[in-house]
Amino acid sequence: MKLPVLIDKTVSNPIEQQASGGCSSGSCGSSQQAVNQLPADIQARVADHPCFSEQAHHFFARMHVAVAPACNIQCNYCNRKYDCSNESRPGVVSEVLSPDQAIQKVKAVAASIPQMTVLGIAGPGDPLANPERTFETFRRLSRETPDIKLCVSTNGLNLPDCVEELSQHNIEHVTITINCLDPEIGARIYPWIFWNHKRVRGVEAARILIEQQQKGLEMLVARGILVKVNSVMIPGINDQHLLEVSRVVKEKGAFLHNVMPIIAEPEHGTYFGLTGQREPTHQELQSLQDACAGDMNMMRHCRQCRADAVGLLGEDRGEEFTLEKIAAMDIDYDAAMEKRQQIQAQLLEQLHRQQAGGEVSLPDATLCSSEAQSRPVLMAVASKGGGLVNQHFGHATEFLIYEASPQGVRFVGHRSVDKPYCENSSSCGDGDSVLQTILSKLKDCEMLLCSKVGYEPWSALEDAGIQPDGSHALEPIEDAIQAVYQEMADKDLLSSESETQQQSA
């Protein structure tokens, strides 16, 4: 029996996916439909994009520059001392660059990291509330670095006025953050907007913002520009409502709806942080994401990363590109572009090979026969990139979470920890609390796949009901997970309900 890997392959190769026939459940069938409904050119664009495709994220990278510090609205989950919370985590400050500096930085990064293929404008503020700075940057990049795709995200208030100009640049896609369609709900999320030379508050403000967002969405779709919609899930305020948002924005032509959890910590000084707004649990987030975006299963790897982070999955090479350092660099972009092209072609080939090879034959039909009873299992993976199980448990600052089930392997998200278990070679396990944090982040996972794990954390993980496994080191993640799921099936660990219960205890 062949199991489909329900990751980006579904996007890149829907025909093969259908032909595999390994998937019998209703939800799985509808996901194929949803994917097939995407026009072929969008499927192709999405499959290689580091922000949309988890697999592509292992090969290609995006970068952000902050050139647009002003904003024209207030969100209750944002403290304007920091970056725009719609795009990165709260409490982060990116250095604001002039358009000139931004272009120099983009060239410097592109020349030294050929994997960098996508540039976004993010950081503090709303790019379209600063149209001059944003569009100057875009204009020059379209001309000077034509091999870099551009993207932009916005709260939507100014979007309708900017659509014309956006359609003239090398814009890959536009992200609109839409948290609601109902102004009453909006009034609990947005205290004010700046509109027609006045500060407008309350339900009226939310009504205008929602209207502009929807209008902007429709205008972009009409021009054939890809639109992604982000929503921030705020339990008790818009969590139920987001199902409706999802339906409407997809109907209007957004190709992807991505739900992010609200981050509301008092130390960030946001309204929600200080008034004790609850964050969603992993489970709540996951089930809403499944309901809204589950059919596409993209973006789950989104780390709400630092807006000015530079590099591949989980790495930040920002230090190498400070203003001082880039000012000293002399870049021959034409030469760089040639080199980039070669390396990108190689990477693309590698990625496509991996995407095509996503189907794994299982040794026997155990899964098929036990399909009805086999329960899904969550597994955590430590990976440095390249789509492989290749990181030491002690070095991981984030874990990729996958769900294995008779329907296949599905990427569900990532969980990050502030500190790795080993800070440096001499201080492994110094802080027991570090280990405790990791354990609590992974508590719903039953397996942990990594390249190696030390003796002490091994027992702690086991005691917490998370079985560490280093035997699949350097294997592709999906293959390793399928193999482990099969092993669990062979050991008859998948049928008993009690196993599930024990996990949540």
Partner 1 sequence: MAYEIVDSCVSCTACAMVCPNDAISEQDMQFVIDSTLCTECAGDFDDPQCASICPVEGAIVDELGYELNPLGSLTGIIPLSAA
- 354 contact choice in ligand SF4, partner 1, none (CB below 5 to 8 Å, kind-dependent): none
The structure tokens listed for 357 are: 């090879």
State the nearest-atom distance from the C-beta of 137 to ligand SF4, in Å. 17
State the nearest-atom distance from the C-beta of 232 to ligand SF4, in Å. 9
Q: Is the dihedral of CA 443, 362, 346, 35 positive or negative?
A: negative
Using an 8 Å Cβ cutoff, are 126 and 70 in contact?
yes
- 81 contact choice in partner 1, ligand SF4, none (CB below 5 to 8 Å, kind-dependent): partner 1
- 130 contact choice in ligand SF4, partner 1, none (CB below 5 to 8 Å, kind-dependent): partner 1
Give the Cα separation of 188 and 80 in Å (integer).
18
Residue type for position 187? A
Nearer to ligand SF4, 78 or 96 (CB): 78
State the nearest-atom distance from the C-beta of 74 to partner 1, in Å. 6
- 287 contact choice in ligand SF4, partner 1, none (CB below 5 to 8 Å, kind-dependent): none
The candidate with the shortest Cα–Cα distance to 178, out of 131, 220, 130, 136, is: 220
Q: Which residues of 331-370 are buried (b: 16+ CB within 10 A; e: fewer)?
A: bebeebbeebeeebeebeeebeebbeebbbebeeebbeee
- 85 contact choice in ligand SF4, partner 1, none (CB below 5 to 8 Å, kind-dependent): ligand SF4
Nearer to partner 1, 268 or 392 (CB): 268
**CA-to-CA dists, residue 65 to 74, 153, 343, 393, angstroms:** 21, 12, 23, 32
- 155 contact choice in partner 1, ligand SF4, none (CB below 5 to 8 Å, kind-dependent): ligand SF4
Q: Output phi, psi for 187, to 5 deg.
A: -65, -20
State the nearest-atom distance from the C-beta of 206 to ligand SF4, in Å. 13
Start-to-end Cα distance in the chain: 34
State the nearest-atom distance from the C-beta of 85 to partner 1, in Å. 13
Nearer to ligand SF4, 185 or 450 (CB): 185
- 86 contact choice in ligand SF4, partner 1, none (CB below 5 to 8 Å, kind-dependent): ligand SF4
| Residue ranges in contact with ligand SF4 by CB under 6 A | 71, 73-75, 78, 84-86, 125-126, 155
Give the Cα separation of 167 and 221 in Å (integer).
11
Nearer to ligand SF4, 69 or 235 (CB): 69
Nearer to ligand SF4, 84 or 412 (CB): 84
Nearer to ligand SF4, 268 or 301 (CB): 268
State the nearest-atom distance from the C-beta of 200 to ligand SF4, in Å. 14
Number of other residues whose CB lies within 10 A of the CB of residue 27: 11
Helix (H) or strand (E) segment spanning residue 193: strand 192-195
Nearer to ligand SF4, 16 or 204 (CB): 204
Using an 8 Å Cβ cutoff, are 326 and 317 in contact?
no
Nearer to partner 1, 79 or 451 (CB): 79
The candidate with the shortest Cα–Cα distance to 131, out of 176, 173, 99, is: 99
Nearer to ligand SF4, 85 or 286 (CB): 85
Give the Cα separation of 291 and 297 in Å (integer).
11
- 417 contact choice in partner 1, ligand SF4, none (CB below 5 to 8 Å, kind-dependent): none
State the nearest-atom distance from the C-beta of 130 to partner 1, in Å. 7
Q: Output phi, psi for 253, to 5 deg.
A: 115, 5
Helix (H, G, I), strand (E, B) or coil at 120: strand
Determine how β-strand 447-449 pairs with β-strand 256-261.
unpaired
- 274 contact choice in ligand SF4, partner 1, none (CB below 5 to 8 Å, kind-dependent): partner 1
State the nearest-atom distance from the C-beta of 193 to ligand SF4, in Å. 10
The structure tokens listed for 493 are: 């660990």
- 422 contact choice in partner 1, ligand SF4, none (CB below 5 to 8 Å, kind-dependent): none
Give the Cα separation of 122 and 155 in Å (integer).
12
For helices 99-112 and 131-144, angle between their N-to-C axes, nearest 10 degrees:
40
Nearer to partner 1, 131 or 376 (CB): 131
Nearer to ligand SF4, 85 or 451 (CB): 85
| Residue ranges in contact with partner 1 by CB under 8 A | 69-72, 74, 76, 80-81, 96, 124-125, 129-130, 191-192, 194, 197-199, 271, 274-275
State the nearest-atom distance from the C-beta of 165 to partner 1, in Å. 17
- 84 contact choice in ligand SF4, partner 1, none (CB below 5 to 8 Å, kind-dependent): ligand SF4
State the nearest-atom distance from the C-beta of 271 to partner 1, in Å. 5
State the nearest-atom distance from the C-beta of 235 to partner 1, in Å. 19
Q: What's the gap between Cα 345 and its chain centre? A: 24
